[in-house]
């Protein structure tokens, strides 16, 4: 059962007499334990809720529109505790965080409900057969799975969990039932690459069309790895070899299934010095949030926005601004800035590369740039009237960097208004040329 913490005034629940402090035991006879149960069984136009209030137990019928909410609030989004990871993966980024950060940075989420609701990835190791039954019954789709390898013994070794190999059966069950799956392979040099990657690709391709996409991303290695499993980064040449290996599999999948399915993350291309593929390669960008095609997508949006910049903005207006980004995207962002300065000669724009002193030189993505590094490397530099940063540098609420430096702290230290911009070419052009 779940506790009601708020009732919206004038809502169907309010009209039915529900109160904060009530407990929902069941809806139409179905036990309610979390948000999935609640949303799934709440869809009909009329629902019967069994309520526990103090010593009383009674039924309440609530009338509403089909699929509509009834106006209840709960103490947490899941109406339950988040499920934590049971693994000790050799590449886990959370284990590579230095001490002293906020508690939420160290929380290891591995919750199938969040995979469906917010797109996070799960390892399957804390799922029971009953959990999978519910996923199939409720037609929860898509589900995002961190596979890494389909070799059961190697998966156990990589995840330091003796159940990691057996838990792959959950993925096979979901695929057989038609659940749409998006998978990721965190590639570790000398561990699950080479022949092991070939096996994983072959096994996942056999699950098409249930497996819709698979991203191959390099393990992120920070400088805080003392006492952890010894991993080394891929060389530029090795990154190129991984791309060639994945592209060979893509061609086979295209011929067999009409979709390439497998893609390497942008990071592989940037480190290898290989140009990113065209937009068609990414097939509607199913793994954009996993860093696959992010640069291509933003670049294409940018070019389309620039076509109409003369109609949408006053290009003769004088503007002074700056942009900060990570090492990996610096060249790309600099090329966009140069193009904007070309079409708007009155624009003065500096682009700054922020090296990751906090996590170490192997961490090059903008999303892991900290407020401390931003301040220390930009203090005293020419920043203009606005400093633009990618929104991924900030947590979801857009107020704090990873090291707990606030946006306001950074603005005060640097003496400039900081504006965060999403990874969107249109938004980037609008932010730079559109003034406020």
Please indicate, yes or no, whether residues 303 and 340 belong to a single structural domain of this protein: yes
Query: Hey, how many other C-beta atoms are within 10 angstroms of the C-beta on 166?
Result: 14
User: Quick one: 206 and 63 in the same domain?
Assistant: no
| Whether residues 228 and 188 fall in one domain | yes
Residues 14, 9: Cα–Cα separation, whole Å: 6
The closest of 319, 379, 335 to 354, measured between CA atoms, is 379
The predicted structure's pLDDT at residue 435:
58
Q: What is the CATH number of the domain that holds 67?
A: 2.30.42.10
Q: How many CB atoms lie within 10 A of CB 271?
A: 20
Do 134 and 266 share a domain, yes or no? yes
Structurally, how many domains does the chain consist of? 3
Radius of gyration of the chain (CA): 25
Instruction: Return the bridge partners of 187, or none.
Output: 218
Last-in-domain residue among 270, 291, 312: 291
State whether 195 and 242 are in the same domain.
yes
- Encode the chain (436 residues) as per-residue pLDDT tens digits: 999 999 999 999 999 999 999 999 999 999 999 999 999 999 999 999 999 999 999 999 999 999 999 999 999 888 888 888 999 999 999 999 998 787 778 888 888 888 888 888 999 999 999 999 999 999 999 999 999 999 999 999 999 999 999 999 999 999 999 999 999 999 999 999 999 999 999 999 999 999 999 999 999 999 999 999 999 999 999 999 999 999 999 999 999 999 999 999 999 999 999 999 999 999 999 999 899 999 999 999 999 999 999 888 999 999 999 999 999 999 999 999 999 999 999 999 999 999 999 999 999 999 999 999 999 999 999 999 999 999 999 987 888 999 999 999 999 999 999 999 999 999 999 999 985 5
First CA to last CA distance, the chain = 48
| Cα 201–chain centre separation | 22
Residue 434, pLDDT score? 87
The answer as to whether 69 is a domain residue is yes
Q: What is the pLDDT of residue 171?
A: 97
Give residue 20's domain range: 2-73
Q: In the listed set 17, 40, 73, which residue is the last one of a domain according to the structure?
A: 73
* 61 and 101 both lie in a single domain: no
Do 232 and 189 meet the contact criterion of CB atoms below 8 Å apart? Answer: yes
pLDDT of 105: 81
* Same-domain pairing of 272 and 200: yes
Upper half-sphere CA count for residue 131 (Cβ side, 13 Å): 17
Q: Is 235 inside a domain boundary?
A: yes
Long-range CB contacts (within 8 A, 24+) of 9-16? 10/71, 11/69, 11/70, 11/71, 11/72, 12/62, 12/63, 12/64, 12/68, 12/70, 12/71, 13/62, 13/70, 13/71, 13/72, 14/71, 16/49, 16/60, 16/61, 16/62, 16/63, 16/70
Do 127 and 229 share a structural domain?
A: yes
**What pLDDT score does 318 carry?**
94
Assessment of whether the complete model's pTM goes beyond 0.85: yes
CA dist., res. 355 & res. 263, Å (int) = 27
Structure tokens at 327: 């090492």
């Amino acid at each position: 059962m779940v506790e009601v913490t708020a009732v919206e005034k004038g809502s169907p629940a309010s009209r039915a007499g529900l109160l904060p402090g009530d407990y929902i035991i069941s809806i139409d006879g179905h036990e309610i334990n979390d948000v999935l149960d609640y949303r799934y069984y709440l869809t009909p136009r009329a629902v019967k809720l069994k309520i526990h209030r103090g010593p009383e137990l009674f039924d309440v019928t609530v009338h509403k529109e089909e699929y509509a909410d009834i106006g209840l609030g709960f103490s947490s989004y899941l109406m339950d505790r988040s499920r934590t990871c049971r693994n000790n993966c050799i590449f886990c980024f959370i284990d590579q965080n230095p001490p002293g950060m906020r508690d939420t940075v160290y929380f290891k989420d591995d919750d199938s409900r969040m995979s469906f609701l917010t797109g996070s990835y799960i390892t399957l190791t804390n799922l029971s057969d009953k959990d999978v039954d519910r996923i199939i019954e409720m037609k929860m789709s898509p589900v995002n799975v961190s596979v890494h390898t389909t070799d059961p013994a190697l998966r156990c070794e990589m995840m330091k969990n003796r159940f990691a190999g057996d838990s792959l059966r959950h993925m096979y069950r979901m695929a057989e039932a038609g659940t749409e799956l998006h998978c990721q392979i965190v590639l570790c040099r000398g561990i699950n690459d080479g022949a092991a990657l070939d096996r994983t690709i072959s096994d996942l391709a056999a699950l098409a069309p249930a497996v819709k996409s698979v991203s191959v991303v390099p393990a992120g290695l920070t400088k805080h790895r003392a006492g952890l499993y010894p991993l080394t980064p891929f060389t530029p040449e090795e990154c190129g070899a991984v791309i060639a290996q994945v592209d060979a599999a893509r061609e086979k999948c295209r011929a067999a299934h009409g979709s390439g399915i497998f893609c390497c993350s942008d990071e592989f291309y940037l480190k290898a010095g290989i140009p990113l593929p065209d937009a068609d390669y990414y097939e509607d960008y199913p793994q954009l949030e996993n860093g696959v095609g992010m640069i291509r997508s933003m670049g294409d949006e940018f070019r389309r926005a620039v076509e109409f910049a003369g109609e949408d903005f006053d290009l003769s207006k004088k503007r002074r601004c700056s942009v900060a980004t990570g090492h990996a995207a610096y060249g790309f962002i600099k090329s966009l800035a140069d193009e904007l300065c070309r079409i708007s000669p009155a624009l003065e724009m500096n682009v700054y590369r922020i090296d990751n002193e906090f996590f170490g030189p192997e961490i090059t993505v903008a999303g892991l740039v900290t407020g401390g590094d931003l301040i220390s490397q930009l203090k005293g530099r020419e920043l203009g009237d606005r400093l633009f940063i990618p929104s991924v540098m900030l947590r979801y609420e857009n107020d704090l960097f990873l090291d707990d430096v606030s946006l306001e702290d950074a603005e005060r230290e640097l003496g400039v208004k900081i504006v965060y911009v999403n990874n969107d070419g249109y938004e980037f052009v609008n932010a730079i040329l559109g003034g406020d």
